[in-house]
């Protein structure tokens, strides 16, 4: 496979949710592992049955370790649900499904955190144990929790996303803890490093997967200062989100549900925007927002699709080199 020239340059990928992990896998498969760092959103995290659950970290870990459930995109392939069955039998909450194998990761992480490990320590240890060689790390070791403003009031993210199946109409988001949360020091070091080749914003939900990372103290400033190109891949193709509530949220927020709408959200931040061939007609309008556009196939079904999009995105970023 066309490995990316072991360019001295380091790539930072911002990822949340299933779509983000797909591109993160494509990047991990075509790049030298020491040249890629994947920053996972942690604002979806929550404590359930006393267990610290980090869904977006786990989706990246399971995806890169080829353990992910291909249907759901979260949790593990070949799961069994004895724990959940017993939980239901005892009258416990069953709205959030914890597979028997997935449970081991939550128990282990929680135990290590309780013993004083940081979330990034645990993530690095789990990545190593799973045979993952690229750096996967949380955006912060401090707690940030997305609260969803809806017509029914403020909902914790997992209550909105899983328990209420994204049905409530959203009016906005609030990232509880964002003021005091410190971006992971390694993230900031990479972002100001001369070795930084590009920042890739994966096709994740801009509001609840990417924005918590961008809102961390100091991140937007260093992104404005960096000489490395910043490229986002649209999570919306032909007016629909491939997975998850991004399109529904955009509609409820009064934004155009389109790649152009997402480009507007990233205006003044990104140098390049990657859209699917289906959205070719809006390329000129997106360019008018002040960003370059790459038109390519962004719908990822196969492993080759993931690698091809990763390669095209990296080449596009390199062509924008703001050095």
Min dist CB 102 to ligand FO1, Å, is 6
Q: Is 75 in the site for ligand FO1 (CB under 6 A)?
A: yes
Min dist CB 316 to ligand FO1, Å, is 25
Q: Is 69 in the site for ligand FO1 (CB under 6 A)?
A: no
Q: Is 96 in the site for ligand FO1 (CB under 6 A)?
A: yes
Min dist CB 7 to ligand FO1, Å, is 31
Exposed, middle or buried: residue 167 (CB in 10 Å: 0-12, 13-18, 19+)? exposed
> 172 is written with which tokens?
């906005």
Q: Is 229 in the site for ligand FO1 (CB under 6 A)?
A: no
**Which is nearer to ligand FO1, 174 or 315 (by Cβ)?**
174
Cα dist from 6 to 1, 12, 35, 132, 251, whole Å: 14, 15, 8, 18, 42
Q: Is 97 in the site for ligand FO1 (CB under 6 A)?
A: yes
**Which is nearer to ligand FO1, 96 or 265 (by Cβ)?**
96
Cα dist from 122 to 11, 90, 92, 141, whole Å: 22, 31, 28, 10
| Among the listed residues 113, 194, 151, 147, the one whose alpha carbon sits nearest the alpha carbon of residue 43 | 147
Span 101-120, contacts to ligand FO1 by CB under 6 A: 102
**Helix axes 17-30 and 55-64, enclosed angle (nearest 10):** 40
**Helix axes 119-129 and 100-114, enclosed angle (nearest 10):** 140
Chain-centre distance for alpha carbon 226: 21
| One of 51, 113, 162, 222 touching ligand FO1 (CB under 6 A) | 162
Secondary structure of residue 293 in the 3-state scheme: strand
Alpha-carbon gap, residue 55 to 122, rounded angstroms: 14
Alpha-carbon gap, residue 145 to 157, rounded angstroms: 8
Contact window for ligand FO1 (CB under 6 A) among 90-98, 181-189, 220-228, 260-268: 90-98
Min dist CB 171 to ligand FO1, Å, is 20
**Which is nearer to ligand FO1, 241 or 314 (by Cβ)?**
241
Alpha-carbon gap, residue 179 to 49, rounded angstroms: 27
Q: Is 142 in the site for ligand FO1 (CB under 6 A)?
A: no
Q: Is 211 in the site for ligand FO1 (CB under 6 A)?
A: no
| One of 26, 55, 183, 197 touching ligand FO1 (CB under 6 A) | 55
Q: Is 19 in the site for ligand FO1 (CB under 6 A)?
A: no
Alpha-carbon gap, residue 55 to 75, rounded angstroms: 8
Contact window for ligand FO1 (CB under 6 A) among 54-62, 171-179, 255-263, 299-307: 54-62
| One of 35, 37, 59, 234 touching ligand FO1 (CB under 6 A) | 59
Alpha-carbon gap, residue 143 to 263, rounded angstroms: 28
**Which is nearer to ligand FO1, 83 or 96 (by Cβ)?**
96
Positions that interact with ligand FO1 (CB under 6 A): 17, 44, 53, 55-56, 58-59, 74-75, 96-98, 102, 158, 161-162
């Amino acid at each position: 496979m066309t490995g990316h020239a072991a360019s001295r340059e380091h790539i930072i990928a911002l990822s949340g949710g299933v779509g983000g992990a797909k591109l993160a896998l494509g990047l991990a498969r075509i790049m030298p592992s020491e040249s890629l760092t994947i920053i996972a959103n942690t604002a979806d995290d929550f404590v359930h049955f006393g267990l610290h659950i980090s869904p977006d970290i786990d989706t990246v870990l399971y995806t890169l370790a080829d353990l992910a459930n291909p249907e759901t995109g979260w949790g593990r392939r070949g799961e069994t649900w004895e724990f959940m069955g017993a939980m239901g039998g005892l009258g416990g909450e069953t709205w959030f499904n914890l597979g028997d194998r997935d449970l081991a990761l939550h128990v282990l992480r929680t135990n290590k955190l309780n013993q004083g490990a940081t979330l990034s320590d645990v993530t690095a240890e789990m990545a190593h144990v799973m045979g993952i060689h690229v750096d996967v790390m949380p955006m912060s070791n401090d707690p940030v929790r997305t609260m969803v403003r809806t017509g029914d009031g403020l909902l914790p993210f997992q209550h909105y996303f899983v328990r209420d199946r994204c049905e409530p109409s959203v009016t906005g988001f609030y990232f509880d803890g964002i003021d005091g949360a410190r971006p992971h020091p390694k993230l900031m070091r990479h972002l100001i490093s001369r070795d930084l080749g590009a920042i890739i914003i994966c096709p994740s939900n801009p509001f609840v997967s990417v924005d918590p990372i961008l809102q961390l103290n100091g991140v937007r400033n260093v992104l404005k200062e960096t000489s490395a190109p910043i490229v986002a891949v649209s999570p919306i193709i032909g007016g629909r989100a491939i997975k998850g509530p991004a399109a529904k949220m955009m509609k409820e927020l009064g934004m155009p549900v389109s790649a152009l709408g997402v480009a507007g959200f990233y205006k003044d931040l990104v140098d390049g925007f990657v859209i699917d061939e289906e959205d070719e007609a809006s390329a000129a309008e997106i360019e008018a927002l002040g960003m370059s556009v790459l038109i390519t196939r962004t719908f990822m079904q196969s492993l080759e699709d993931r690698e091809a999009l990763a390669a095209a995105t990296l080449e596009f970023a390199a062509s924008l080199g703001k050095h």
